[in-house]
Structure 1
Amino acid sequence: MNDASPKIEGAPLIAPSSTDHPLYDQVVEACRSVYDPEIPVNIYDLGLVYTLEISDENEVRVIMTLTA
C-alpha cells in the first residue's frame, strides 16, 4: 500500500478493491453497519466507499468520500 508509486497512463485513478481477499465480505458487512447520520442509508450502499484494500497482513485501508 504505497501512494508513492508512479501513475501509469490508462490506469484507473481509484484502485480496485481487494475482492479476492478472504476478509473482503466481512469488511463490506462492517461498512454496511455504518450509517450516514442524516439519512438512514449505510456508507457502502450510498457509494461513499471507493476502495477496500486488504494487505497480506490483514490491514484494511478504506478509500472513501464524505457527505457534506
Structure 2
Amino acid sequence: MSREVNHAASHVETANQAYNAGQWDVALVFVEKAINADPRDSDAQHLRGLIALKLGELTEAQTWLTRAVL
C-alpha cells in the first residue's frame, strides 16, 4: 500500500468519526484530505456525497455519490 493510500484511509477514518458525531464541517475537511491523497478512493467519494447531503448541497451530493459507484 502506498503512502498516499495510507493517508487517505486514515483521513477517511477520521472523517467517518466526525460524520457519525454530526460534525459535518470537520468531516468535510478530512474527507477532502483523503480525496486529495487518493482521488480514486470510492469510500472517500461516497462519504463526500453523504456530507454534501447533510450540508444541503444536493447537486454536489449527486456528483460525489455517482463517482463513488462508477
| Larger CA Rg, structure 1 vs 2 | 1
Check whether TM > 0.5. no
User: Could you state the TM-score of these two structures normalised by the residue count of structure 2?
Assistant: 0.28
Alignment TM-score, normalising by the size of structure 1 = 0.29
If each structure's strand is expressed as a fraction of its own residues, which one has the higher value?
1
